[in-house]
Amino acid sequence: MYSKKTVIANNTGLHARPASDFIANATKFKSRIFIKRLDSGDEANAKSIIMLLSLALDKGTEVEIYAEGEDEITAVNSLIDLIDSKFGEDK
């Protein structure tokens, strides 16, 4: 298992469009991937848009992404990079 933490930085948080981008990226990987909201401990399958949106990830929310599988490091790093890029918003 591999994990990394980051903070949601875009002003609108993980609303429908960035959540859709996140899911599209996550589904490219074979590993099982999860995202955890660190302030509440709630977590979701990173490949399920319904579960992801249910976390209500607003700007400033600290999250941990973890994965298990053959491409776990690449998967986690890719999703962390996507979050850290602010999903192309706020530029």
15 catalytically annotated: yes
Question: Which residue is catalytic, options 4, 15, 59, 86?
Answer: 15
Looking at domain 2-88, its CATH class is alpha beta
**Mean predicted confidence (pLDDT) in 13-38:** 96
Chain Cα centroid distance, residue 91? 20
Q: Which residues contact 14 (CB under 8 A, 6 or more apart)?
A: 8, 22, 52, 53, 55, 57, 58
**Mean predicted confidence (pLDDT) in 24-40:** 98
Global confidence as pTM: 0.94
- 41-63 pLDDT, tens digit per residue, is 999 999 999 999 999 999 999 99
Residue 49 to residues 25, 54, 90, 91: CA-CA distances in angstroms? Answer: 12, 8, 22, 25
**Mean predicted confidence (pLDDT) in 28-48:** 98
Average pLDDT along the chain: 95
Q: Where are the domains of the chain?
A: 2-88
The pLDDT score that the predictor gives to residue 14 is 92
Check pLDDT > 70 for residue 90: no
